[in-house]
Structure 1
C-alpha cells in the first residue's frame, strides 16, 4: 500500500505493457477486502517523455541564446568602440568648421547606434532569461547619485536641472538591475523634457520606499498610457530628431522591475509632465545624510604618466592609442596579448605603468583581470586599473573591491580620458 513500483503486465497477445495499480481497502460485512484499479499507462509515459524532450530542447536553445548574447555583446561593441575613438580623435584634430560639423554629425549617429545596441541586447537578455537576480543590501542614495552624475552633462546641454531628494536608506535589491531601471527612467525623462526639472525623490510607504522620477516634459495622453511599456512603442516620435531611440527603455525598465518583484506605475498630464514610480523593500538601517557630489573637471597632469594599454583587437588598440595620445601628459604603451604585456613590462623597466587599461576578453585563457593582477604582482605595486568591457554581465562591485574600475564599451574617448585623469589625480 502506498508504494511506487515500476509494474508491467502481459496482454493476451503476449505484448508487455507498463501499468499502474491503485489499491484501496474496502470494509464489507465479510471483512476487509481490497479494490484494485489497473490502468494501461503507455500513452501517459509517451507524453512524459515528449515533455522531457521538449524541455531539454528548450533549455539547450536558451543556453545557446545566452552564449550568443554574451558573444554578441562583446563582438558588436568592439567596432563601435574603435569608431567612437577615431571619431573623437578626428574632432580634436580637424580645424575646418565644415569638416568638423560633418564629423560631429557622425559622432551623434554613433551615439545613437550605441544606445540602440545596448537596448536590443538588454531586451534580448531579458527574453532569454539570461539575467540573474542577486538581492543584497544596497545604498539607495549612492546608486541614484551615480546614475544622476552620468546624466548631468546631458541635462545641462538641454538646460535642465537634475535634482535629487532621496533619503539615505538601505534597500533590498539587485544593485545592477536597480541602476538599469533608474538609467532608463531618468534617460527617458530627459529625452521628453524640453525645459524645467527632472526630480528624483523618495517616500517611505510602510516597509517599502517609493522612488519617483518626475519631469516637466510633454506628458502622455491618457489613451496612450496603457501602451507605453510595450516594446518599440514611442509617443510623438519625430523622425527628424537626431536621437529617436527604439522605444525599448520603458519596456526594459518594466521587465526588470518585475524581476525585482516590483511594478512601475505612471501618472501624467499632457503639457505638464510625468511621474514614474516603483517600490523597493527597506532594510531598516539609517545612513548618515550626505550631499550629492559636484562634477569637477580633472586637473591637468604636471608630469608624464605611463598608460599600459592591452587589447587583442588591432583596430580598437590602434584607435584607443591614437585618442589617448592626444591628451597632454599621457605616454601610451600598447600590447595585444598577455605575452606581449609581459615583454613590454621588461622593455620599459625599471619604469612602472602609472595606470593599466585593458580589455576584459583577450582571446586567451587569461582575461583583463588576470593581466591587472599579474602586472601588480610583477611590479609589487597596486597600480590603478581600468577594465574595458563589452560584457555587461561582469560583477562590477566585486572588481571595485579589488580596486579595478570598470568602463563599458563602447564609450567616449573623453569619458575614458576623464576617468584616467581622475584616477591618476587621486
Structure 2
C-alpha cells in the first residue's frame, strides 16, 4: 500500500482531492452555528469584542473555503494541476486551523474554568470533525490539525497554570491519536479510489471484450449464413443436371439396348444414384436447419422397422465380415416411423462404417414408459473430447482425405436434428478402441389397428390418361420430362414461363400441372400454379419440384400448400407423386413408404 503521507499521482490524486472538496460544503452551517453559540455562551465584558472578531473570521474562512471547493468541483481538474490545488488547500486549511486555534486566545483566561473546558472541547471536536473530512488528502489534515494545536498550545503556555498545561498535554495526545486514525482513513480512501479505477478498467475491458465477442459471433453467424447460402446455391445448381440425367436414364432404360449397353447404363444409374444420395443428405440437413420437418406422429410396432433396416444394411456388414444382429421386440411406440427409420439408418450405417472386427447390435429396452433403442458397435470408439463435435455438420472421424465413400459427415448431425424434432435426443456412450452405443428414447404406446408404414413400392405397370403441363426454365429438364411422361401414357405440354404456360393451357386445358419452384425473373412455380388455378379452378391438380435447399426457400415452398418434391426426383418418386395428386391422396403419407427405402431422404414439405 502506498504511504498516504506521499501524494499520489495523476487521476488518483484528482479523485482524492475531489473527495476532500466534496466534504467542505456540509460543514458550513455547523461551523456558523458553533461560532455564534460560543460567542453567546462565552462573551463577557472583557472578551466580547475578541470573540466577535474571531467568530467573523471563522465564518469568513469557512465561506471562502466552501466557495473555492464549489468552484473546483465545477471544473475539470487536470492531473497536472492537482498538486498545485493540494498546496492551495493546505494553505487555506492552515489559515482555517490557525483561526480555530485563536479561539483559545480570545476566550481562555477571560472566562470561567467551565468555559475553558468548553473551549478545549470544541477545538477537539473541530479537529475530530476535520479528520473525517480532510483525511482523503492526509497532508491537508496534518496542516490543519498541527496549526490549530500550535496556536492553542502557545496560548496555554502563556497562562502558566498546571491545569492549562495538563489540558495542553491532553490536546497533544488527542491530536496524535487523530493523526493515526486519519492515516488509516487516508489508506482506506486511497484503496477505495484505486479499486474504483480497477473496476472501471475492468468494466471497460469487459465492454471491449464483449464487443469483440459480439463481433466474432456476428462474423460466425455471417459465415454460417454464407455457408448455408453456398450449399443451397451449389446444391440447386447441381440438382438441375442430375435431375435431368435421371429422367434421360429412365427413358434410355425403356429402349432396346445390347448387353454391354445395359451394363454401361447400370453403371451410369449407379453413379447417378450416388450423386442423388449425397444431394439428398444435403437437403435433409437444410430442411432441419429450416425447421420445416414436421413429425407425423402415429403408433407403430418397432420390429417391422428394425427388420426393414436389417434387410437393407446387413449386406454391408456381411461384405466387411462383421456380424449384424437385431434383437426381437414387441414394443410399439408413438412417433414418426419415417423419421425414426432415417435416424436408425444413419446410426447403423455409421456403426458398420467404423467397425472392422466384431459386429453391430440393434436392441430395444423398455424403461419407465419409454422404449430406448440402442445401436451398439465394436468399432474404433470415440474419445470423450469428441462426443459433442461428432454431432456437428461435416465433422468426421478418420476421414481427413474426405473420401466420399465415407459420406459427408452429416449423418449424425441429421440424426440429432431429427431426434430434436421428435422431442427427444441422442445419447452417446463410447470408449476408444472398445466401441460405441447410441441411444434413442421414444414413448411407448398400445397397438391398435395401424399401418406399419413400410410397404413395398408397386411397379409402374399402369399408365396415366391425363394431359400434363410442365413448367421449367431448363431445356434439358423439359425434354426429359416430356419423354418420360409420354412413355407413361401422358399427353405433355412444356413451357418455360408463366405466360407461355397460360397460353398453352388456354389452347389445351391441362389435367395436371408440374412446375419447377424457381422460375426466371424471380418468379416461382407457386405463382404459376396460382395463376392457372385462378383460370381453370382451384381443384386443378398440381405438383411442385424444387432444387432449392436454402431454408427461406424451403419455408416459402412449404407455405404455398402445393405438394412438393425435391430434385433430383427419381422416376419412382415422380410416379408416386403423380398417383397421389391425381387421386387426391395426401403426399406425405404416401412418401412415408419411399422414405423407408435406402436411397430416400426426407421428403416432407
Tell me which interval the TM-score lies in, with the shorter structure as reference length.
0.5 to 0.7
CA distance in 2, matches of 1:247, 1:93: 35
1:305 match: 466
Aligned to 1:372: 529
* Bigger-Rg structure (1/2): 2
Q: Which residue of 1 aligns with 2:41?
A: none
Matched residues in 2 for 1:146 and 1:343: separation?
Answer: 50
Cα deviation for residue 367 of structure 1 reads: 1.7
Q: Cα gap change, 1:148/1:209 in structure 2, threshold over 3 Å: closer, same or farther?
A: closer
* 2:515 pairs with 1:354: no
- Does the aligned pair in 2 maintain the 1:211–1:277 contact within 8 Å? yes
Alignment of 1:70 with 2:137, yes or no, is no
Q: Which residue of 2 aligns with 1:12?
A: 79
Distance 1:102 1:245 in 2: 25
2-structure distance, mates of 1:149, 1:337:
47
Residue 169 of structure 1, aligned match among 331, 334, 339: 334
Say yes or no: does 1:333 pair with 2:475: no
Distance (whole Å) between structure 2 residues aligned to residue 169 and residue 335 of structure 1: 45
Q: Does 1:409 align with 2:409?
A: no
CA contact (8 A) 2:309 2:341 kept: no
Cα distance in 2, alignment partners of residues 9 and 285 from structure 1: 76
Instruction: Work out the CA distance in 1 between the residues paired with 2:557 and 2:302.
Output: 16
Instruction: Measure the CA separation in 2 of the matches of 1:286 and 1:112.
Output: 39
Structure-2 change in CA distance of 1:62 and 1:225 (3 Å): closer
The structure richer in strand per residue is 1
**What is aligned with 1:345?**
505
Distance in 1 between residues matched to 2:338 and 2:80, nearest whole Å: 65
Does the Cα contact within 8 Å between 2:347 and 2:412 map onto a contact in 1? no
Aligned residue for 1:291, secondary structure, equals coil
Residue 367 of structure 2 corresponds to 205
Give the C-alpha shift of residue 290 in structure 1: 0.6
SS of aligned partner of 2:491: strand
Which of 222, 237, 255 matches 1:93? Answer: 255
2:307 and 2:517 map into 1 onto residues whose CA distance is: 25
How far apart, in 1, do the equivalents of 2:329 and 2:557 lie? 23
Q: Is 1:74–1:390's contact at 8 Å kept on the other side of the alignment? A: yes
Call closer, same or farther: CA 1:206–1:98 in 2, change over 3 Å.
same
Are 2:297 and 1:139 equivalent residues in the alignment?
Answer: yes
Equivalent pair of 1:359/1:389 in contact (CA under 8 Å)? yes
How far apart, in 1, do the equivalents of 2:301 and 2:511 lie? 29
Contact map agreement 1:200 1:212 (CA 8 A) in 2: yes
Distance 1:46 1:192 in 2: 45
* Residue 111 (structure 1) shift: 0.8
Aligned counterpart in structure 2 of residue 55 of structure 1, from 195, 199, 217: 217
Alpha-carbon distance in 2 for matches of 1:381, 1:168: 38
Provide the rounded CA distance (Å) in 2 between the counterparts of 1:95 and 1:418: 27
Matching of residue 384 in structure 1 with residue 541 in structure 2: yes
Q: Supply the distance in 2 between the matched residues of 1:50 and 1:306 (Cα, whole angstroms).
A: 61
- CA-based RMSD of the aligned residues comes to 5.1
Shift, 1:192, TM fit: 10
**Contact 1:188–1:249, Cα closer than 8 Å, also in 2:** no
Q: Could you list the per-position Cα deviations for residues 340-370 of structure 1 after superposition, in whole angstroms to 9, with x for gaps in the alignment?
A: 222221121xx3x222212122234432223
Q: Give the direction of change, closer, same or farther, for the CA distance of 1:311–1:137 in structure 2 (3 Å limit).
A: closer
Cα separation, 1, equivalents of 2:301 and 2:544: 20
CA distance in 2, matches of 1:413, 1:80: 13
1: CA distance between counterparts of 2:536 and 2:350? 46
Aligned residues: 371
1:232 Cα offset (Å)? 4.2
Give 1:330 shift: 1.0
Equivalent residue, structure 2, for 1:38? 196
CA drift at 1:178: 5.8
Alignment match, 1:263: 426
Gaps of 5+ in 1: 1-7, 15-28, 215-219, 268-273
Report the Cα distance in structure 1 between the residues aligned to 2:339 and 2:548, rounded to whole angstroms: 15
Aligned equivalents of 1:333, 1:164: Cα separation in 2: 52
The whole-number CA distance in structure 2 between the counterparts of 1:144 and 1:310 is 42
CA distance, structure 2, for counterparts of residue 200 and residue 397 of structure 1:
37
Q: CA deviation at 1:374?
A: 2.6
- Does structure 1 conserve the Cα–Cα contact (< 8 Å) formed by 2:329 and 2:364? no
Gaps of 5+ in 2: 1-74, 82-127, 134-184, 319-323, 431-435, 586-605
Deviation per CA, 1:310-365, whole angstroms, max 9, x where unpaired?
112222222222222222x21111111222222221121xx3x2222121222344
